[in-house]
Amino acid sequence: MSGIRPTGFLHLGNYFGAVKNYVKLQDQFNCYFMVADLHSLTTHPDTRELKSHVHRVLAENIACGLDPEKVALYCQSHIRETGELYLYLNMLAYKGELEKTTTFKDKARQQPENINAGLLTYPVLQAADILMHRASLVPVGKDQEQHLEMARTFANRFNHRYGEVFPEPAAYNFGEELVKVPSLDGTGKMSKSENQLATLYLADDDDVIRKKVMKAKTDAGPTEPGTPMPDYIENLFQLMKLVSSEDQIAYFEEAYRECRIRYGDMKKQLAEDMVKFISPIRERAEEIRTNQGYLRQVMELGAEKARASAVETMNEVRQVTGLNYY
């Protein structure tokens, strides 16, 4: 189980941190993937635009290879049961631990005029989404590690207080480290809403991709063998490892070691490999996005599958909590 907020265009971080693994998991497991529209309300977006953002995220997921027939691909707000589980879990989540969450502290800094209770309990709603399907594997990027730890805590507290209902969910990347795709400017990570010029979006056209990559920060290059790589150069190599061939990577690594690297050439290569990777996804997504009838069918089918699982879980939750009396 996993989700993506409809707060903007999907980017390379969403792809390599999350969607790529969704696609790998869909043939092996019973999967639930959702567009987290309720979570996006914590930052007070214009809700008149939500529908088109939800459509975009769905279309981009499908364009990346997710098959709505194989998985439950749904919209969070269509599963009303989540509100009930969120409420129960809120009674097991403490103010102190929620206030200490890194994402809460970051958001509170970014929007000091809007530190709402939904923002504080964001990890509780996320836990409700995951536990609703009694999921054990949660494919997410590195930034979600702490939230998953909290979901485990809430699951354990619930089980301990009322009875075993939930398995322990864990962040999952096929046994590998969780992924963090760095931004092009050498500071932080690619993101839907911040750092847009340093983020490559799956909807960027070829020239925009080239421009963004060519603007990435570099320097005059190493002058002595053994010079440690600055962060912003290491990030470029990291990005290359996502889309370029092993030969190309080896070529530029050797050029770095031998102090003859030309960053202009490296960025040109990276830009072309990014264009080759992104453009087919962009084109497929655009086609799907404009097919509103199809997207409606996808959402209805997804909600039907997710609701069936939610109803089953909530019956058990009401049973063990004893909240099923008249």
Binding site for ligand AMP (CB under 6 A): 2, 4-5, 13-14, 17-18, 140-141, 143-144, 179-181, 189-190, 192
**Residues 70, 142, 180, 189: which is the catalytic one?**
189
**Residues 24, 95, 100, 107: which is the catalytic one?**
107
Cβ atoms of residues 17 and 202 within 8 Å: no
**Residues 192, 212, 267, 305: which is the catalytic one?**
192
Three-state DSSP class for 3? strand
By beta-carbon proximity to ligand AMP, the closer residue of 5 and 282 is: 5
For residue 196, report the phi and psi dihedrals to the nearest 5 degrees: -65, -30
Nearest distance from C-beta of residue 323 to ligand AMP, angstroms? 31
Structure-token match 């912003």, residue found? 232
Indicate if 192 belongs to the active site: yes
Structure tokens at 252: 């530029």
By beta-carbon proximity to ligand AMP, the closer residue of 47 and 319 is: 47
Indicate if 241 belongs to the active site: no
Q: Give start and end residues of each alpha helix (H) in the chain.
A: 12-14, 20-25, 37-40, 50-63, 81-90, 95-99, 102-110, 117-120, 122-132, 145-162, 206-214, 231-243, 246-257, 263-289, 292-321
Residue 171 contacts by C-beta under 8 Å, 6 or more apart in sequence?
Answer: 138, 139, 140, 144, 145, 148, 178
Three-state DSSP class for 201? strand
Nearest distance from C-beta of residue 147 to ligand AMP, angstroms? 9
By beta-carbon proximity to ligand AMP, the closer residue of 3 and 68 is: 3
Q: Which residue is nearest to ligand AMP (CB)?
A: 17
Nearest distance from C-beta of residue 160 to ligand AMP, angstroms? 28
CA distance 160 to 236: 47
By beta-carbon proximity to ligand AMP, the closer residue of 141 and 222 is: 141
Nearest distance from C-beta of residue 122 to ligand AMP, angstroms? 11
By beta-carbon proximity to ligand AMP, the closer residue of 148 and 261 is: 148
Strand partners, 3: 34
Nearest distance from C-beta of residue 143 to ligand AMP, angstroms? 5
Cβ atoms of residues 314 and 81 within 8 Å: yes
What is the four-CA torsion angle of 143, 146, 147, 152, rounded to 10 degrees?
Answer: 140
Active site positions, annotated: 107, 189, 192
